[in-house]
Amino acid sequence: MSKIVREDIDALNTTLTITIEKEDYEQQFEEELQKYRKNVALKGFRKGKTPANVLRKMYGRSVLGEVINNVLNRELFTYIEEQNLETLGQPLPSKDQSYVDFDVKNLEDYEFKFDIGLAPDFELNGISPDDKYERYEVEVPESVLDEDLMNLRKRVGERVQVEEHIQEGDFVKFEAKELDGGSVKEGGLETDFGIMVNEIENEDFKASLFTKKVGDTINANVYELFDEPDDHYIRHHLLKLDHDDHDTEVGQEFELTLMEATRNEPADLNQEFFDKAFGEGKVTSEEEAKDLIREDAKQFYSKQADALLFRDIQERLMEINDIPLPDDFLKRWLKANNEKLTDEVIEKEYDIFAKNWQWTLLRTKLAKKFEVEITEQDIREGFAQRVRDYFGGYGNEELVNATVDRLMQDQKQVNDIYEEVLVDRLSDAITGVVTVVSKPVDREAFMNVLDEARARAKAEQESAVMASDEEE
């Protein structure tokens, strides 16, 4: 019978010495050899009649190694499960593990040593009525309601040709001719494209465009219309080169002649508009329309405020909870799982890995504390809500269910929605215990806070992706 001896190095590291005795594997080894004998056909022997000594000589070492490896894994992970060891990463062969030479002529006992990184045991701080967190309460000014109502009126209104100067929100169509040294290039690219003025990010170009009318011309670098120009979008959507054309050389400077400009004229504030914008019979006056817009805005800002609150809670919990890790072991584990991951990269990016592990441990402890479990049905409902939101809160349920069935086949999507549902459940549980203090803020200040949080989250995600790419 296999023997396992545990030696704790410290609170986060332990070593298991597993002795696989001859009796533990000998019978299985012989049975596996017999399976080979039945199926192997060697030159000079009939199928199934290969002599045992020949079979051992040719296949014995690999078969023995496979059998012992299976026994070893079974014993190792059974022990971990039975002892309720909370491990990080996977067990690694100890540094002082001696080389094992499988001798099929003289079966013997074998000894293997594994290092294991253990999850830390820590107290959960920061979740009590004495712990205070601020939640933004966004004040929606009347001017925003007027602006949103006007945007709805424009969206529903009729599109008309623009004769006077261009404005924000107009749709403009240009005839584009490639330039060479300030003059139209002979044989150069000639095309046309349309774009919403709002999509143009170059303020100097827009200022010039606002002084123009149909028939006027502007020379411009099409790549400079955007803060972060996308080469694929510009070549294939604006300049209309074939999608598989990656070789044609085209300059960036173009003569742009304004061919057409259209604008949505605001719809009149009448019942026809209310029915089109909000649904038949739901709104009958401007005041009711603003009330509905105000409620939608509150729901949007409330959802964003909840996300910011949970992020603040997460950062605070990470700050005040001491979550030590078996750092040396985890660095070894990272390298063992990817030979391309150098010591230099590990040292550089380890803090990112460590924070992810620490948050996972903290999140797991929170889920246990509040008895939060995410079922397959929870994931399906999470997908369904996402699909309904896409259709403005509605949608044919057959289409919703069919879409959910398809999304459930994508493991990455499942993992993402699992995280979303888990965070929502944890947020509800935590805010039900801690003290949440309202912090009134105007819309502009809130959007600045939200933009900063998004920029920080994007930078963290890019760092994590970079670390992941280097790991792969």
pLDDT tens digits, residue range 336-372? 988 888 889 899 989 989 999 999 999 999 999 999 9
In this predicted structure, what is the pLDDT of residue 244? 82
Phi, psi of 319 (to 5 degrees): -75, -40
C-alpha–C-alpha distance, residues 102 and 63, integer Å: 10
* Percent of all residues in the chain with a pLDDT value above 70, rounded to a whole number: 93
Looking at per-residue confidence, does 2 or 167 come out higher?
Answer: 167
Query: Which positions ≥6 away from 371 have C-beta within 8 Å?
Result: none
Spatial CA neighbour of 98 closest among 115, 111, 108: 111
The yes-or-no verdict on residue 114 having pLDDT over 80 is: yes
Using the 8-state DSSP alphabet, how is residue 295 labeled?
A: H
Q: How far apart are CA 109 and CA 25, in angstroms?
A: 10
In the prediction, which pLDDT does 181 show? 87
Query: How crowded is the C-beta side of 236, counted as CA atoms within 13 Å?
Result: 10
Question: How high is the pLDDT of residue 315?
Answer: 93
What gap in Å lies between CA 321 and CA 319, rounded to an integer?
6
Whether the predicted pLDDT of 438 surpasses 80: yes
What are the φ and ψ backbone dihedral angles of 128, each rounded to 5 degrees? -160, 165
Q: 241: left (phi > 0), else alpha (psi -120 to 50), else beta?
A: beta
Residues 334 and 336: their CA atoms lie apart, in Å, by 6
Of 100-109, 131-140, 157-166, 384-393, where does mean pLDDT reach its minimum? 384-393
Under the banding of pLDDT at 50, 70 and 90, the label for residue 463 is low
Pairing label, strands 435-442, 132-139? parallel
Q: Residues 6 or more apart from 286 whose CB is under 8 A from it?
A: 149, 269
pLDDT band at 471 (very low <50, low <70, confident <90, very high): very low
Kindly tell me if the per-residue pLDDT of 215 is higher than 80. yes
The CA distance from 338 to 349, in Å, is 14
What's the token pair of residue 77?
A: 């992970």
Whether residue 17 has pLDDT greater than 80 = yes
**pLDDT confidence of residue 132:** 95
pLDDT digits (tens, 9 = 90+) for 369-413: 999 999 999 999 999 988 877 765 555 678 888 889 999 999 999
> What stretch of H or E contains 436?
strand 435-442
Task: With residue 264 as reference, give the H or E element that holds it.
Answer: strand 253-264
Burial (CB count within 10 angstroms: exposed 0-12, middle 13-18, buried 19+), residue 295: exposed
Q: What is the mean pLDDT of residues 448-460?
A: 85
- What's this model's pTM, rounded to 2 decimal places? 0.69
User: What pLDDT, on a 0 to 100 scale, did the predictor assign at position 391?
Assistant: 65
- Dump pLDDT digits (tens) for 168-196: 889 999 999 999 988 999 999 999 999 99
pLDDT at 182: 87
- Per-residue pLDDT reduced to its tens digit, 58-67: 778 888 889 9
H or E segment and range at residue 33: helix 22-39
From residue 211, give the alpha-carbon distance in Å to each of 166, 207, 225. 7, 7, 17
Q: Which two tokens stand for residue 50?
A: 């290969």
Q: Which residue has the tokens 């979550």?
A: 323
Question: Which pLDDT value is given to residue 46?
Answer: 58
Residue 174 DSSP label: E
Q: What's the confidence (pLDDT) of residue 264?
A: 86
